[in-house]
Amino acid sequence: MKKIFLIASAFAVLACTNQNGTKADTSDKKQNHQIVAGDSSLIYPEEKHFKSLRQLTFGGDNAEAYWSFDDSKLVFQATNEKWDAHCDQIFMMNSSEEQSPDKVPSLISTGDGRTTCSYFMPGDTTILYASTHVHDASCPHKPPKREDGKYVWPVYDSFDIFVADMKGNVIRQLTNTPGYDAEATVSPKGDKIVFTSMRSGDLELYTMNLDGRDVKQITSELGYDGGAFFSHDGTKLIFRSSRPKTDEEVKEYKDLLAQGLVMPTHMELYICNADGSELRQLTHLGNANWAPYFHPSDKKVIFSSNHANDRGFQFNLYMINIDGTGLERISFDSIFDAFPVFSNNGDRLVFSSNRHNGGTFETNLFMAEWVD
């Protein structure tokens, strides 16, 4: 679920320093994939895990970029008036090609409704994503700014999960139950899909086979469970959750959910086995901790958090061991870094950031050459 307006609409935004510089010659080949030269001026001095950094998009709101199984392509969602994408749509680009402001990636969603959470299926010839287009071809409404000032996300009950080919043709619909079905990702083993659904009356995690059969509920505690990813060996799940504890929190959560809304300002990370067993809370940091993804070793998790910022709007990337120790800050942008995803071979990290946007609200995709 794309939440770029978490920064642009909900919080005061500081102007980001416009960093210009020449491109460094950092070309290299790893496991038969070309590392295209990055721009060293995009990297803050403290970002020691980034050997190079390359900007992939140049305007609009771009988020949730995910790798093909062979690491040759990226699929992502974007709102960009110049691409005729007035509401989040799914696009694809080659990961090894240089991008430019004039280059428009391939649209592979229908162009109707709102889409989110695309992901490659095994074989890299199809993708899955959630969309509202079957229920309404127009873009669903955004919730108005609340009088109480609280920030909320819409949970559209018109979202269902679809499989499409690389030309944008919908091949099949995987979900067809009342309420929200979205946030689907595929196990690196290529055998299961995990997704978030409202079919039980609450926002829980479920798994299913690639054809939509054998649906199993994974979580069952009250609260929003979402943004789940499998570990590389397929044995574990990492996800974000906002789980109300007090009577007041429970009432607020239920009241908002009845309106198709959730409030994501307090989220922690949870980890469990792929069947839901041995569930435990991973972070206890406060504020919003979200967009987790397993490090290639499966011994750490990278994620986005604003826990270190009193005013709430500065999000940076962090990494933590799966036993909850060894918290390390990874990125140092002054506004927003989120949606970090490692390539399958572990040599690159793609993420969304407000860096280098000239003080605008634009959020772009960046690819880092990763150094442990």
Q: In tens digits, what is the pLDDT along the chain, a chain of 372 residues?
A: 544 444 433 332 222 222 333 233 333 333 334 445 566 789 999 999 999 999 999 999 999 999 999 999 999 999 999 999 999 999 999 999 999 999 999 999 999 999 999 999 999 999 999 999 999 999 999 888 888 888 899 999 999 999 999 999 999 999 999 999 999 999 999 999 999 999 999 999 999 999 999 999 999 999 999 999 999 999 999 999 999 999 999 999 999 999 999 999 999 999 999 999 999 999 999 999 999 999 999 999 999 999 998 876 799 999 999 999 999 999 999 999 999 999 999 999 999 999 999 989 999 999 999 999
In a domain, 171, yes or no: yes
Q: Is residue 343 part of a domain?
A: no
In a domain, 25, yes or no: no
Report the domain count for the chain. 1
Any domain includes 68: yes
Taking the C-alpha atoms of residue 151 and residue 190, their distance in angstroms, rounded to an integer, is 36
CATH number at residue 103: 2.130.10
Give the amino acid at 202.
Answer: D
255 in any annotated domain:
yes
Q: Domain of 186? A: 5-16+57-301
Q: Is residue 165 included in any domain, yes or no?
A: yes
pLDDT of residue 4: 40
CA distance 254 to 262: 9
Helix (H, G, I), strand (E, B), or coil: what is residue 274?
Answer: coil
How many beta carbons lie within 10 A of that of residue 311, not counting itself? 9
- In the prediction, which pLDDT does 150 show? 86
User: Cα–Cα distances in Å, from 216 out to 110, 225, 235?
Assistant: 29, 15, 15
The structure tokens listed for 228 are 């789940």
> Residue 192 and residue 204: Cα distance in Å, rounded?
16
In a domain, 347, yes or no: no
Residue 31 placed within a domain = no
Instruction: Answer for the pair 313, 12: CB distance below 8 angstroms, yes or no.
Output: yes
